[in-house]
Structure 1
Amino acid sequence: MWSAGAAAGPRAVLVGLIGRGIQLSRTPFMHEVEGRAQGLSYVYRLLDIDRMGTTPPALGDILRFAEHFGFSGFNVTFPFKQEILPLLDELSPAARDLGSVNTVILKDGRRRGHNTDMWGFRESFRRGMAGAKIDTVLLLGAGGAGVAVAHALLDLGAGCVVVHDVEAARGEALAARLAARFGAGRAEAGRDLADAVQDADGIVNATPVGMAKLPGTPLPTRLLKSAQWVADIVYFPLETELLRQARQLGCRTLSGEGMAVWQAVRAFEHFTGLVPDVDRMKAAFAAFDGVPAQAGTMPAAKAAGSAGF
């Protein structure tokens, strides 16, 4: 079992990422590079449900595995950011407000959930889309990431966020929660996608469509106009089909790189209690070679076998 480490050696930190189809994630490399630079024995494992056999373990079993083997915590990505909520002992104010968790700290036998996605997207947008018109923004996706993006946009001063989700009821529920918190007229559910695109100053894709394992675009790109801006939270691949086509049309674009880096910066702080070097983490993100079997990836069979799954 991993522990805090002996006095003679560097402090050991074992963390991970729970999700599906995450073999191309740059997060482990960013964290491990920064951890080593901070003098830590820092290991970041991928706990990819898609690599755990035809009958993967339940999410609760994976959490127990992480606790048993001394994990300090873990990040959570699609599709577990909301599913994990009832498995936690406590939530940070941000995680409670958003109803979504992407970072879990395991300490003193308790599981505390945090959300660094909202801050990550806000910092990325503030830096990468400075001056962009945000009177009306179309948000695609009302899942865990979409919730964080919506709050960030409204916090940045968006006039109205129009939420569109393939599950209409989920989009309507998020729009209602946003309107209740930020005020009437600040959020609404999109009924017709084409009309919503037509009326938007900009569009944010907060769905997994465009990921390496889910190629394609979340909307017909023929609907886009060159005066619009388009942001995508997907970062593997960094150049999604949506962004590629939007750029060809002349749209201003924002990739998922910034959100990925900034949420990782805050997560690193939660995991270690140390302040990371943002520029160093950005450089690590850019330097990642994209090889799925990078150091720090736990083979599925080993992960399952170790926990007795």
Structure 2
Amino acid sequence: MPEKKSYLLGLMGAGIGGSLSPAMHEEEARQLGLQCVYRRIDLDLLQRDARTRPDLLPELLRAAEQMGFDGLNITYPCKQSVIPLLDSLAPEAQALGAVNTVLLRDGQRIGHNTDCSGFARAFQQGLPGVALDHVVQLGAGGAGAAVAHAALTLGVRRLSVFDVDTARAAALSEVLQQRFPDVEVRAGEALESTLARACGLIHATPTGMAKLPGLPLPAAWLHRDLWVADIVYFPLRTALLEAAQALGCLTMSGGGMAVAQAVDAFRLFTRQEPDAARMSAHFQTLLPC
């Protein structure tokens, strides 16, 4: 029997009102005979100016500690800005330069990353056997860093990284190239022509979320020989996936990653082994009809 039977957890980020993480963690805890309260800490509700939202992090982390939180999931736009506020990083978070899970334990703030392992497992299940010769990735932020790392561990031979912040795309590409010297990782320069030569597209930006609807690129730039993987899961069927499916592309939604990273985070929070299949089945019941 676990020594600890109750947990206070939270999700910290912007525009997280639709997140299914609270329901997933609370239900799995109930199934394991644990008590879990999981709260959203939505930066959009605390301060409207996106430029100063990271300034709230020190205060929010202190408040979470004072209120007895056991841990926090971290999402957009805090996965990188939270790092200087932590006491230590697990190896995977250190390597990626991004954190999506913080343990608040024994007066220490310990950063982990479950996005990388979550995307890898979801991809292997959702797009088994697809070509990995040349993949384009949109997004080089905290989630993008984890997903790109996962893609390269899965066997991608050439990765072209694009981001609205070209310096960020270049920095991530340089780090990944050093870590994976036997493959080619480059910051992309011409998205349309690069995508025309690619076999796969990974979308790792917030575009397509319920609060940021739309496409991250012109639909006309897609082609039927692409597979398309989106990490957005709310909504599960994004405008990008709809456009890709209309062309006959193989696609993967962000649902698999959402569940897989939650499974790993739950294990870190509780030190108990969650039932991944049960969490996935519960996730499906939470989705809008």
User: Normalized against structure 2, the TM-score is what?
Assistant: 0.95
Please name the residue that 2:21 is paired with.
Answer: 27
Please name the residue that 1:69 is paired with.
Answer: 67
Greater displacement, 231-240 / 51-60: 51-60
Query: Aligned partners of 1:105 and 1:84: how far apart in 2?
Result: 13
Greater displacement, 193-202 / 265-274: 193-202
Please name the residue that 1:155 is paired with.
Answer: 153
Q: C-alpha displacement at 1:185, in angstroms?
A: 4.5
Structure 1 vs Structure 2 CA RMSD: 1.7
Cα deviations across residues 1-45 of structure 1 (Å, max 9, x unaligned)? xxxx9x9xx811000100000111111111111011111111110
Counterparts of residues 37-56 of structure 1 (less than 5 Å): 37-54=31-48
Counterparts of residues 158-169 of structure 1 (less than 5 Å): 158-169=156-167
Query: Aligned partners of 1:157 and 1:283: how far apart in 2?
Result: 29
**Aligned residue among 120, 142, 159 for 2:118:** 120
Cα deviations across residues 107-144 of structure 1 (Å, max 9, x unaligned)? 11000000000000000001111000011100000000
Q: C-alpha displacement at 1:82, in angstroms?
A: 0.1
**Aligned residue among 277, 280, 284 for 2:278:** 280
Q: C-alpha displacement at 1:186, in angstroms?
A: 2.1
**Aligned residue among 156, 174, 180 for 1:176:** 174
Structure 2: gaps (5+ residues): none
Query: Aligned partners of 2:183 and 2:170: how far apart in 1?
Result: 13
Please name the residue that 1:236 is paired with.
Answer: 234
Cα deviations across residues 246-302 of structure 1 (Å, max 9, x unaligned)? 001100000000000000000000000000011111112111156xxxxxxxxxxxx
Residues 178, 186 of structure 1: 8 Å contact kept: no
Aligned partner letter, 1:170: R
Secondary structure at 1:23's aligned position in 2? Answer: coil
Residues 18, 48 of structure 1: 8 Å contact kept: yes
User: In structure 2, do the counterparts of structure 1 residues 239 and 289 end up closer, same or farther at CA, with 3 Å as the change threshold?
Assistant: closer
Structure 1: gaps (5+ residues): 291-309
Residues 146, 207 of structure 1: 8 Å contact kept: yes
Cα deviations across residues 151-196 of structure 1 (Å, max 9, x unaligned)? 0010011001110011111101111111111016420110001012
Greater relative CO (CA pairs within 8 A, separation 6+): 1
Aligned partner letter, 1:31: H
Residues 104, 113 of structure 1: 8 Å contact kept: yes
Residues 233, 255 of structure 1: 8 Å contact kept: yes
Query: Aligned partners of 1:77 and 1:39: how far apart in 2?
Result: 27
Query: Aligned partners of 1:53 and 1:262: how far apart in 2?
Result: 31
Please name the residue that 2:131 is paired with.
Answer: 133
Counterparts of residues 189-208 of structure 1 (less than 5 Å): 189-208=187-206
* % identical aligned pairs: 51
Query: Aligned partners of 1:217 and 1:130: how far apart in 2?
Result: 25
User: In structure 2, do the counterparts of structure 1 residues 164 and 289 end up closer, same or farther at CA, with 3 Å as the change threshold?
Assistant: closer
Aligned partner letter, 2:102: V
Q: C-alpha displacement at 1:221, in angstroms?
A: 1.2
Provide runs of 4+ in structure 1 moved above 2 Å: 53-57
Please name the residue that 2:30 is paired with.
Answer: 36
Q: C-alpha displacement at 1:199, in angstroms?
A: 1.4
User: Normalized against structure 1, the TM-score is what?
Assistant: 0.89
